[in-house]
């Protein structure tokens, strides 16, 4: 496989379902990276209902993405707001702009082009809920993709739906001019031999014989879709099984193998911090949630430096036995 040695700068946090803590995890992960001495910018990508600024303690942002979309400011960099956390800048969402939840193609391209030019080592993109094309495109554009979910059945279903939608969106763009692939992909059609296509592996098996060139292109597209899993609001050892459930389903039906990046423990102190408009990592000296986020930040930094071909080796080398909740809390270096 080709090697990509460029460092991953943009990481998107998505998950499809609202209420799973995407904004809080984005905030906590940003704080963890800042504590490592990294320069971080958070972008509130929930264009229809931005709230990341509230979690950061910014009551009335004087500049938002609205100013960028409407060209009141020339550069995305001009929308960065300083925060109470040293090393973290914030770009607020544009929930006060009519139609902001559905930016035009030109606005979206302008935004994505300028994200890579932002003055930071890491940019964390807090995506809105749902599976709109804009949300999926922002997710797929990112070099680092984190799918967030809780252990609740509905959250797991939505997380898989989000991952599938993102992958299919990528494949539909990669094969935009190939009607045969698109028909088999979206309509679950049948080949001339009557073969059904209920899984991505069925598609691979068909093209491996029928069209080796398309098989190679499809294999490359799947390889390029590298995904990380994080389970939030963990309350019990049983909750720690949730990422493996998602990974198993993705492996069986989508022919991808997401990497489990970590877990974030449920922390009752987070709600108190939200009500007081104080970033939750600053509200408590010892936050249970930050234990996991600190470890995820270390993994993010490490993964950002790996070449693309190194991902598989890193996954195989990092496989460990099941960790209990007590182990995560008392020995975070192993999580």
Contact 314, 303 (CB under 8 A): yes
Total tally of structural domains belonging to the chain: 1
- Specify if 319 maps to a domain: yes
Structural domain includes residue 217: no
**What does the pLDDT profile of the chain (335 residues) look like in tens digits?**
343 435 899 999 999 878 888 999 999 999 999 999 999 999 998 766 668 888 887 878 889 988 898 899 999 999 999 998 899 999 998 665 545 557 788 888 899 999 989 999 999 999 988 898 989 999 999 999 999 999 999 999 999 999 999 999 999 999 999 999 999 988 765 555 557 788 999 999 999 999 999 999 999 999 999 999 999 999 999 999 999 999 999 999 999 999 999 999 998 877 776 666 666 665 566 788 889 999 999 999 999 987 554 334 333 333 444 455 555 444 443 33
157 domain residue, yes or no: yes
- Enumerate residues 6+ apart whose C-beta is below 8 A from 186: 168, 172
Q: Is residue 199 part of a domain?
A: no
Position 311 in a domain: yes
Is 221 contained in some domain? no
Q: Model's pTM, two decimal places? A: 0.86
Could you tell me the residue range of the domain that residue 244 belongs to? 10-185+228-334
Residue 121 lies in a domain: yes
CATH number for the domain spanning 309: value is: 3.40.50.300
pLDDT confidence of residue 317? 35
Q: How far is CA 74 from CA 62, 69, 71, 83, 306, in A?
A: 16, 9, 6, 22, 34
Cα-to-chain-centroid distance, residue 201: 24
Is 4 part of a structural domain of the chain? no
């Amino acid at each position: 496989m080709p090697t990509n040695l460029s460092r991953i700068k943009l990481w998107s946090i998505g998950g499809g379902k609202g209420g799973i803590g995407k904004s809080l995890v984005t905030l906590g992960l940003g704080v963890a990276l800042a504590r490592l001495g990294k320069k971080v910018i958070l972008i509130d990508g929930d264009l229809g209902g931005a709230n990341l600024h509230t979690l950061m303690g910014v009551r009335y942002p004087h500049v938002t993405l609205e100013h960028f979309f409407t060209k009141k400011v020339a550069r995305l960099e001009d929308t960065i707001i300083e925060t109470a956390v040293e090393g973290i800048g914030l770009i607020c969402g544009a929930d006060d702009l009519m139609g902001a939840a559905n930016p035009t193609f030109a606005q979206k391209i302008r935004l994505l082009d300028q994200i890579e030019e932002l003055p930071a080592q890491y940019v964390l993109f807090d995506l809105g809920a749902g599976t709109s094309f804009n949300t999926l495109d922002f997710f797929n554009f990112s070099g680092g993709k984190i799918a967030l979910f809780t252990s609740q059945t509905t959250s797991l279903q939505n997380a898989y739906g989000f991952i599938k939608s993102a992958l299919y969106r990528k494949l539909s763009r990669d094969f935009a001019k190939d009607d045969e692939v698109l028909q088999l992909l979206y309509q679950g059609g049948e080949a001339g031999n009557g073969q059904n296509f209920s899984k991505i592996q069925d598609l691979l098996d068909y093209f491996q014989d029928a069209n080796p060139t398309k098989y190679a292109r499809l294999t490359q597209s799947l390889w390029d879709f590298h995904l990380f899993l994080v389970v939030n609001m963990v309350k019990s050892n049983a909750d720690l099984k949730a990422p493996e459930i998602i990974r198993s389903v993705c492996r069986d039906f989508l022919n991808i193998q997401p990497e489990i990046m970590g877990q974030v423990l449920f922390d009752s102190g987070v709600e108190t911090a939200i009500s007081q408009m104080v970033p939750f990592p600053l509200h408590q000296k010892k936050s249970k949630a930050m234990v996991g986020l600190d470890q995820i930040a270390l993994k993010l930094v490490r993964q950002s430096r790996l070449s693309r071909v190194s991902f598989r080796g890193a996954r195989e080398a990092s496989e460990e036995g099941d960790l209990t909740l007590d182990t995560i809390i008392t020995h975070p270096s192993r999580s």
